[in-house]
């Protein structure tokens, strides 16, 4: 059977000397999908790198913010025009529910992200243009000197897809071409998204290699790709094992890599909150744990509370929710293999002493609807548990609606705060709003660097930018963003220490 073509070098073409092939497997029916996709070898990669470098040079000389913004808007339209086939294909490949999840939540989130990225480009403030008039030194954030390699995860076939998701949108908005490495769990979905993107590239007048796609590689080829001198940076969302291997290779080559690897997202329930509204919290907790069959990166994996009669009743309520509900279907072969222990709805309960005796082992992320309930002796032990947490994307504290939990909060919060990227009060962490203040990041090993976020416009673009400085450069040779005149009249620039939308 013919293999599906890859998108490299500005055209759909047969993979050159692929090292193997694969098909998607429906994780619910276990049926293989009919299309066969290539596992790309060194020749596809080499062509992609050359074309990616050429696209970088072409963007530098002829690319414009307007054209990139037009591409992203047009891509969103192309996705909407293909919504039916995208949803149908994603259902077959992932067994995720068509509605509301795929059609009503994830697809609109994806097109919204693309349009937000287009707006960020048109606005231009993300570049943080900084002008010191006295010294005539001017700087701003701009593209890297090579294409960005994006590795997509298996749990969001649209919103984190390597050719359409948040990392893709951020890399493009920062002015970089993308080499996408699709997730092998949903190659057909990725192909349709890439067709939509390629139609938008053609309509925008941008380099045809703005986006390139390979579906799968060997691990060795992946390591080669992230450490290639000709790339600008990489972004990876997935397992800690694969992420750390890619990080090691990229680090050795001096290439930035941004990773979102693992997080248990601890939730601390203070005694007053459980006494006041334990039943409601138990429902929120179950809903958050089971969302997307428990495969969200912000799923609450550890819940910590103090031993008392209210927390005992709370645990019984949570157990009842877990027992009553059928587990969702877990994603694809790779997912199934690594989570064999966690295929049913699972709730584990143990003491604070037990947790503190084995903190590292118990923080291994369970990728499924499993949560660990840790019952501590008292607030002091809850604080000790917080101190033993590794880096996480989120940390949550529920407290009484009035001030009665404030003393406990003041003990636990400073410790928890230092371990997480986003601290929440009185809500579960699974919602990740695409807003400027969002942080979908956190200390290692949740990510590779505590200063960056993978979600939130324009902050997510900062990962894919270099600082470009111009010292005594003549006015007509400066990028438009750094000339005396504000190029669009709305871009925020830091001129002699004050943020302004005015001209110099």
Residues designated catalytic: 260, 297
8 Å CB contact between 365 and 417:
no
Distance CA 372, CA 318 (A): 11
Q: Is 488 in the site for a second copy (CB under 8 A)?
A: no
- In whole angstroms, the minimum distance from the beta carbon of 152 to a second copy comes to 22
Site for a second copy in 137-156 (CB under 8 A): 137-139, 141, 144-145
d(CA 306, CA 352): 9
Stretch that binds a second copy, among 67-75, 309-317, 327-335, 459-467 (CB under 8 A): 459-467
Strands 370-376 and 346-351: parallel
| Binding flag, residue 216, a second copy (CB under 8 A) | no
Binding characters for a second copy, 313-342, by CB under 8 A (x = yes):
------------------------------
Give the interface size with a second copy as a residue count (CB under 8 A): 71
> Taking CB under 8 A as the criterion, which residues in 248-287 touch a second copy?
248, 251-252, 254-256
- What's 101's DSSP letter? I
Site for a second copy in 38-67 (CB under 8 A): 56-57, 60-61
Is residue 291 within 8 A of residue 156, CB to CB? The reply is no
Asked whether 56 and 28 are in contact (CB, 8 A), the reply is: no
Residue linked to tokens 């992932």: 94
Shorter beta-carbon distance to a second copy: residue 93 or 405:
405
From the list 11-19, 126-134, 212-220, 344-352, the region that binds a second copy by CB under 8 A is 126-134
What is each CA distance from 106 to 156, 392, 428, in whole angstroms? 8, 24, 19
The verdict on 430 binding a second copy (CB under 8 A) reads no
Cβ 213 vs Cβ 8: under 8 Å: yes
Three-state SS letters, 389-458? CCCEEEEEEECCCCCCCHHHHHHHHHHHHCCEEEEEECCCCCCCCCCCCCCCCCCCCCECCCCCCCCCCC
Q: Which is nearer to a second copy, 350 or 423 (CB)?
A: 423
- Site residues for a second copy, window 387-426 (CB under 8 A)? 394, 409, 413-414, 417-419, 421-426
Q: Which of 131, 148, 164, 192 binds a second copy (CB under 8 A)?
A: 131
Piece in contact with a second copy (CB under 8 A), picked from 71-79, 157-165, 350-358, 434-442: 434-442
User: In the complex with a second copy, which residue's Cβ is closer, 7 or 389?
Assistant: 389
Please give the Cα distance from 54 to 48 (Å, whole number).
10
Verify binding: residue 360, a second copy, rule CB under 8 A.
Answer: no
Contact between 162 and 189 under an 8 Å Cβ cutoff? The reply is no
Pick from 67, 242, 245, 466 the residue near a second copy by CB under 8 A. 466
For tokens 């759909």, the residue is: 12
Instruction: Give min distance, CB of 240 to a second copy, in A.
Output: 11
Strand 20-22, strand 37-39: pairing? antiparallel
Q: Which of the stretches 73-81, 110-118, 127-135, 217-225 binds a second copy when contact is defined by CB under 8 A?
A: 127-135
Window 437-456: residues binding a second copy (CB under 8 A): 437-439, 441, 443-445, 448-453
**504 in contact with a second copy (CB under 8 A):** no
- By CB under 8 A, name the one of 260, 465, 481, 486 that touches a second copy: 465
d(C-alpha 500, C-alpha 315), whole Å: 53
CB of 439 to a second copy, least distance (A): 3
Tokens of 161: 């897809």
């Amino acid at each position: 059977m013919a293999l599906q073509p890859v998108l490299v070098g500005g055209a759909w073409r047969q993979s050159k000397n692929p090292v193997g092939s694969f098909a998607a497997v429906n994780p619910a029916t276990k049926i293989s999908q009919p299309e066969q996709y290539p596992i790309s070898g060194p020749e596809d990669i080499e062509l992609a790198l050359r074309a990616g470098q050429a696209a970088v040079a072409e963007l530098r000389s002829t690319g414009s913010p307007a054209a990139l913004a037009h591409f992203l808007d047009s891509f969103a339209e192309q996705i909407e025009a293909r919504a039916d086939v995208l949803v149908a294909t994603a259902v077959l490949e992932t067994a995720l529910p068509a509605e509301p999840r795929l059609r009503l939540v994830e697809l609109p989130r994806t097109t919204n992200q693309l349009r937000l990225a287009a707006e960020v480009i048109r606005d231009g403030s993300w570049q943080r243009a900084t002008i010191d008039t006295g010294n005539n030194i001017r700087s701003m954030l701009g593209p890297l000197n090579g294409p960005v390699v994006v590795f997509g995860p298996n749990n969001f076939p649209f919103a984190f897809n390597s050719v359409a998701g948040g990392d893709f949108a951020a890399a493009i908005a920062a002015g970089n071409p993308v080499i996408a490495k699709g997730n092998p769990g949903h190659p057909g979905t990725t192909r349709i998204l890439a067709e939509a993107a390629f139609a938008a590239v053609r309509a925008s007048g941008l380099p045809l290699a703005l986006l390139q796609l390979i579906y799968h590689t060997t691990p060795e080829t992946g390591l080669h790709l992230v450490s290639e001198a000709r790339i600008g940076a990489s972004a990876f969302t997935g397992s800690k094992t694969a992420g750390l291997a890619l990080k090691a290779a990229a680090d050795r080559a001096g290439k930035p890599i941004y990773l979102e690897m693992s997080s248990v997202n601890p939730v601390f329930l203070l005694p007053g909150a459980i006494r006041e509204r334990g039943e409601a919290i138990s429902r929120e907790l179950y809903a958050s744990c089971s969302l997307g069959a428990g495969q969200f990166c912000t799923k609450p994996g550890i819940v910590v509370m103090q031993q008392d009669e209210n927390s005992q009743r709370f645990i019984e309520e949570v157990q009842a929710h877990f027992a009553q509900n059928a587990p969702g279907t877990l994603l694809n072969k790779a997912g199934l293999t690594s989570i064999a222990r966690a295929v049913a709805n699972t709730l584990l309960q143990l003491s604070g002493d037990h947790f503190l005796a084995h903190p590292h082992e118990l923080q291994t992320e369970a990728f499924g609807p499993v949560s660990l309930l840790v019952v501590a002796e008292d607030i002091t032990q809850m604080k000790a548990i917080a101190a033993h947490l590794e880096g996480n994307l989120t940390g949550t504290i529920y407290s009484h609606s009035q001030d009665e939990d404030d003393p406990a909060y003041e003990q636990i919060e400073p410790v928890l705060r230092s371990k997480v990227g986003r601290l929440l009060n009185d809500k579960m962490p699974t919602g990740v709003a695409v807003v400027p203040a969002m942080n979908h990041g956190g200390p290692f090993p949740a990510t590779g660097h505590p200063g960056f976020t993978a979600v939130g416009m324009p902050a997510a673009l900062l990962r894919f930018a270099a600082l470009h400085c111009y010292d005594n450069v003549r006015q007509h040779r400066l990028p438009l963003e750094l000339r005396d005149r504000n190029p669009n009249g709305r871009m925020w620039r830091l001129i002699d220490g004050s943020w302004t939308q005015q001209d110099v």
